[in-house]
Amino acid sequence: MFNGSGVAIVTPFKNGRVDFEAFNKLIDFHLQNNTQALIVLGTTGEATTQNDEEREQVIKAAVERVNKKIPVIIGTGGNDTAKAVKHTKQAEELGADGALVVTPYYNKATQNGLIAHFTAIANATKLPNILYNVPGRTNVNINPTTVAELAKIENVIGIKEASGNTNQILEIKRLVPEEFKIYSGNDDQVVPVYSAGGHGVISVSANVIPKEMQQMCKAFEDGNVKEALRLQLKYKLFIDLLFSEVNPIPVKAAVSLMGYMENELRLPLTPMEDANLAKLQAEMKQLQII
């Protein structure tokens, strides 16, 4: 699929609608700054507040603008298996290169239920599937043995691991085939996940610092661990500030400060609190991002 930094891209809104002019500018920004994959309609893209018509329009826009220069991966998961199957088939039909499939939330599932859920989605399409484990949002963890079982499915090719548990990531690495991709789901753990045998990051911060996130990944891949760590530490405070409120509230504020789009979210998300915004803006100025 890809190695390095893939961006979990925001969805720009303007006056309640998707702002496709801004979306195209953002995609161009990533193509120019060496982002290795575009992850569309994930958590950062506010997928849960977009209807089926909007989803189709956003996927089409991304696929057309990228034009096969890098992989376009669509967030198709959810807590209704039938709907997740539908969305994954839609992504395939519209020309996407892969699907990012989150664990079911709210109704949750046992480990056997997770295997059945992800298997049903993978079997419904030929698209490469990336599992998405983010227990902080879903209150469900994919156990390493479950990941290993799912890795036996031909088109389940990797996992975005956002548990924050390095020991768990090491155990996944121990159990899965060498070619199975492990991506950090936490921007503050890119170097640790690489050290545990990972292959890159699906990044929120890359919305703002795409070149630098890819440089961090490339440095580690080239064996320059010291440089990768330098970049990880340089941007640590900035990354922390991007998660000082619920994602994507801060990152949308940051991208709007760069002038790429309006700072508009859909309820129940609301704009960043003034005190946190001031800290974010100050750090962006310190890093010469703005």
Compute the distance between CA of residue 184 and CA of residue 245 in angstroms, rounded to an integer. 20
For residue 179, the surrounding DSSP H or E stretch is: none
Compute the distance between CA of residue 272 and CA of residue 138 in angstroms, rounded to an integer. 23
Compute the distance between CA of residue 122 and CA of residue 119 in angstroms, rounded to an integer. 5
Compute the distance between CA of residue 167 and CA of residue 271 in angstroms, rounded to an integer. 35
Checking 239-244 for CB contacts under 8 A at 24+ apart, the result is: 239/187, 239/188, 239/205, 240/188, 241/276, 241/279, 241/280, 241/283, 242/187, 242/204, 242/205, 242/208, 242/280, 243/204, 244/276, 244/279, 244/280
- Structure-block tokens of residue 2: 């890809």
Check if the beta carbon of residue 1 is closer than 8 Å to that of residue 35.
no
Tell me, what DSSP letter sits at residue 126? S
Check if the beta carbon of residue 216 is closer than 8 Å to that of residue 5.
yes
Catalytic residue among 69, 105, 108, 132: 132
Q: Is 9 annotated as contributing to ligand binding?
A: no
Catalytic residue among 160, 181, 218, 252: 160
The full length of the chain comes to 290
160 is known as an active-site residue = yes
For residue 191, the surrounding DSSP H or E stretch is: helix 190-195
CB atoms closer than 10 angstroms to residue 236: 12
132 is known as an active-site residue = yes
Compute the distance between CA of residue 187 and CA of residue 191 in angstroms, rounded to an integer. 9
Q: Is 153 annotated as contributing to ligand binding?
A: no
Annotated binding residues for pyruvate, as ranges? 44, 202
- Catalytic positions are 132, 160
Annotated binding residues, as ranges? 44, 202
